[in-house]
A and B are shown apart, each in its own frame.
Chain A
């Protein structure tokens, strides 16, 4: 009777040191900031594009998403027809991308804190969707009514559905998730490669 018998008959490997494993994630602030910003930037660009398309289809106005973004900072006068389009586009783009980069960093930080940078791709997409819902909920249900209550009543259901939930859940979050899946920031090793298959 020896280790050559039993459930692992061919296992003659040496014992690893107790409680030691191979790190699969490198969770440092630089990784989170750089890749969070990149993920957020990509997600923000995709979100902005979808919002412009949805705005054209729903309202025939491609500039409305820019106006809303600007209105967060300068108030409802940004929605007035007199507000210059160029200023709206420039300022709106900056505000939108800053917010999306900030949320992107939050997304990466959340993943890193929960050891999820190396999560399975399907799970990562789910995280993206859930994060998109959360961002929408915080932005539109919690923050917007407080900082700009006059904007709230100006969003009809269709706009909220397409420019809000659909684009946040199905575009912004998943695009950031796709970036993490593609780049795998901070991921040193793929844990889902099974122990036994590797040995065999």
Chain B
């Protein structure tokens, strides 16, 4: 009798609203997820990401075997008809994804609240092991093409499926997504290992996305099989045994909703492609406070073993090729001095030898690129906190501006590469200026003479080819004022803990 009551109860307003918002956010998540995959359209079950070891790829090209290339070359731009926003806008795609995640999680919390504060949870949660034989019977009924098995309100197979999607697949998606955060992985290196490693988590996240797509297709197909108009009346109006007029109203509202959904996607795509800066500002306003509070403060505690080191790590971005850099590279940066200036009590000017004598530190960590690939490497260098102790920043200093030799010749007209790091972040454990990698001097492919290492961040925030550092109060007047070359040009975030 209790279940019959549930069926008569229908869907309360909270369930209907969260169902609608779920559609909005899931579609945004899927399209922006496709954009993110395009950043590195390959999936692995190993954290070394050796070329050729991917289990699946979504690109029409492989890289040269007789020439050197970098991970940047592997990107596969997707059409805006599929990806949000498409055309190789990884930074914007990520922000759309994260903002949609926030909306989706809030929707999920609201839905759970409705479930636990009403009898609605009984729709989804099996209360007896009888659900398994009943689900088998329901499956046979579907197979024999008899009338769709009825339930009060769901048949056992439907109940198990909905339960699985909401209480198994959804948490799995959330957890595998979190496992890809460099801040979380840095602070809790065991966390991604629960899924077999960072790349396995990425693969599972993708498989979960596909499962959501498959569920959605089957869900819609079965709603049609069970009676489309009755289903729409139930989920739109909350009405069971609807009249013809109510069917018409439900269809009209559904069509209007779908039109609005399409309009939202068209607007989001066009606005992102035509006005990327404005869209980035809006999305950052929503998501930056979230990541700054929850993830950025996490400090890295990675301690990988030498046996974990990746044999052939991917480089990213081509080295500078202007004469000054090439000459310095040729003579091993002999005579070059690293300058520490700006808001400091004691400016520094150090040779590489002098830097090497400053409390050298070494750790083995995972390098996590925004594109999705990773590798494990040993880094040795000087902790930034040691440099800061030597130069003694003044009270006004809030950020460190890293200037580099990188002329970004691959993207002419966008200025030289620079990065801005919070002073607090600079003092975090395992944050260093590295001059060596895997017990070798840093090569030009990986950022010689110096590169930044911040092990709770994505790789793009770790400037390579560092030439000097300057303590500053504000970065608004540097470049385009977003705190880094990549935020300025590629619409990436200034901080990258996820």
Contact = CB atoms under 8 A, between A and B. Distances in A.
Interface string A104-145: 000000000011100110010000000000000100111011
A145 B226 CA distance: 12
B57 A115 contact: yes
Contacts of B45: none
B127 interface: no
A92 interface: no
Interface in B449-479: 449
Nearest to B214: A130
A28 interface: no
A15 B69 contact: yes
A1 B145 contact: no
Nearest to A112: B60
Nearest to A160: B143
Interface stretch (B23-31, B393-401, B438-446): B438-446
B134 interface: no
Contacts of B332: 1-2
Interface residues of B, number: 58
B56 A119 contact: yes
A141 B145 contact: yes
Nearest to A164: B143
19 contacts: A2-B332, A5-B440, A6-B438, A6-B442, A7-B312, A7-B437, A13-B68, A14-B67, A15-B318, A18-B318, A20-B73, A21-B62, A22-B61, A22-B64, A160-B143, A165-B143, A194-B51, A195-B52, A195-B63
A1 B448 contact: yes
B111 to A, nearest CB: 28
B58 interface: yes
B389 interface: no
Interface in B55-113: 55-69, 72-76
A33 B497 CA distance: 47
B50 A18 contact: no
B410 interface: yes
Given A6-B445, A145-B145, A153-B146, 14 more contacts: A2-B329, A3-B443, A6-B440, A7-B438, A8-B315, A15-B68, A15-B69, A18-B410, A23-B61, A115-B58, A120-B55, A165-B143, A193-B52, A195-B63
Interface of A: 1-3, 5-9, 11, 13-16, 18-25, 27, 114-116, 119-120, 123, 137, 140-142, 144-145, 152-153, 155-157, 160-161, 164-165, 189, 191-199
A160 B437 CA distance: 61
A123 B437 contact: no
A165 to B, nearest CB: 7
Contacts of A20: 73
B62 A16 contact: no
B52 A191 contact: yes
Contact of A160 (B53, B62, B74, B145): B145
Contact of A21 (B63, B377, B438): B63
Given A19-B73, A155-B145, A5 B62 contact: no
Contacts of B59: 21, 115
B51 A195 contact: yes
Interface string B410-449: 1000000000000000000000000001101111111011
B154 interface: no
B333 A1 contact: yes
Interface of chain B: mostly helix, strand, loop or mixed: loop
Contact of A24 (B61, B441, B442, B443): B61
Give me the 5 closest cross-chain CB pairs, A-B, nearest first: A6-B443, A21-B61, A194-B52, A16-B67, A191-B62
A25 B221 contact: no
A196 B75 CA distance: 19
Q: Which of A1, A19, A21, A164 has the most CB of B within 10 A?
A: A1
Interface string B305-339: 00000011101001000000000011011000000
A157 B140 contact: yes
A144 B145 contact: yes
Nearest to A130: B214
A7 B63 contact: no
A27 B61 CA distance: 12
A189 B61 CA distance: 9
Contacts of B72: 18-19
B190 interface: no
Given A21-B61, A144-B145, A165-B143, A16 B444 contact: no
B132 interface: no
Nearest to A120: B55
A84 to B, nearest CB: 27
Nearest to A25: B60
B144 interface: yes
B61 A1 contact: no
B257 interface: no
Contacts of A197: 52
Contacts of A3: 443-445
A163 to B, nearest CB: 11
A132 to B, nearest CB: 14
Nearest to B77: A19
A111 to B, nearest CB: 12
A25 B60 CA distance: 6
Contacts of B58: 114-116
A6 B315 CA distance: 11
